Structure 1
Amino acid sequence: MINIRLANERGAANFGWLDSKHTFSFGSYHDPKHMGFSALRVINDDTVTPGAGFGTHGHRDMEIISFVTKGIIAHKDSMGNVQELPKGEFQLMSAGSGVTHSEYNGSGTDMLKFLQIWIEPETKGGTPGYQQKDFGQQQGLTTIITPTGENGTLKIKQQATLRQLYLAQDTAEKLTIEDSRKVYIHVVEGELQVNEKTLNAGDGAQIADLATLDLRNQNEQQVLALVLELP
């Protein structure tokens, strides 16, 4: 099963300083057909004007992933982290028993674009945590987040794995899926073929009951996508 979520069918919110596209129900956007997928609860595709951002606010019992596709995030949280998150880097904040943070466009002149992904943790509570790392732009699949933190990956409190996929023109990757696992693919840029389906930038695919995926780029533009394996 491969169900496509087209970019232009996502929910939307525009506050002037923030233009956000919601893959799943979020804020004032509610669609009972799109409440999440397995432990995946949120994929927000956010564009923030220069100098603007999200003031200090709280979270708990959620694994929050941020991935910058343009610009830089200025991050500050109640754990004492004051960080900048530039294009291409991944941030994983485990909210645990409770954390507050703020996120701003770190530039006064350039737009910020980033994806924010929320995954429900396997167990609630626990000490909040913060991780950040640049994994480069290696072609093919690069593992970013795992439940164990093995091989230098970021460690998440869920049986979930996040991989980054870069495909140059006329290249392909095969992904083997463990029994009963689900997969969600979000295309950031380019046109990606997933088995017999075609996904463009902003599109997503919910995948279940498949053993393998053929991931191909048959066009000139490079493909960048995020591949989530879920319980």
Structure 2
Amino acid sequence: MDVGGVLLLPNAALLTPVVARHGGVDTPEGFIRAHFAAHNAAFPSRGQPRGDYYDLLPRYAGVPEGRWLACAADYLEISRSRNMWHAPDPASKQALAEITGAGVPVAVVSQADGRIAQMLRDARMCQEGDGPGVPVDAVLDSAIVGFDKPDPRLFRAALDRVRVDAAHAVHVGDTVPADVRGAQAAGIRAVHYDPYDDCDAPGDHEHLRRLHEARALVAP
């Protein structure tokens, strides 16, 4: 299971005002909607990206064209001040608890910088063993494992940690080039987390809109 865009979302409370002051959406819900649209446009299933995520976000957030560059610069500046993908999604946490509560082994796999385990703990989302969040079997950080997505070795490392064969595994992630292609290369069933049906190739791979839908895909 992926982290950013699935378990942890961009902090809409901090980022919505950045967009709003340039004339864009002014609600957290509107911001999150724009985020997923921009993310899928920046990381499409096929063809070339429509642009950089930070440049695209203002367009999907309803910012007037004359303010796109200024908004993108402000959005990038605040994002560089700290990792903004740290807001826990309550619905995803509940779904994660349901999955682990059913006895399904779970490995969390993130393209990160060595700090994802602490971020998940701080967000009270999940951790290995006891803690403030949902106990999971493994948390893998690409910077620590030594392989970046979509390298299948990162996904195979997750399989090794939970002692599950690829044929019996499912990976859920929000980025097709990294998550879906990486999992597929490792022989894992790959599912695109796409809450608003933004994927440019809906027939190319499986999708789900809410994490609780993943419960039906895994045993026991």
TM-score using structure 1 length: 0.27
Bigger proportion of residues as strand: 1
Higher relative contact order (CA 8 A, sep 6+): 2
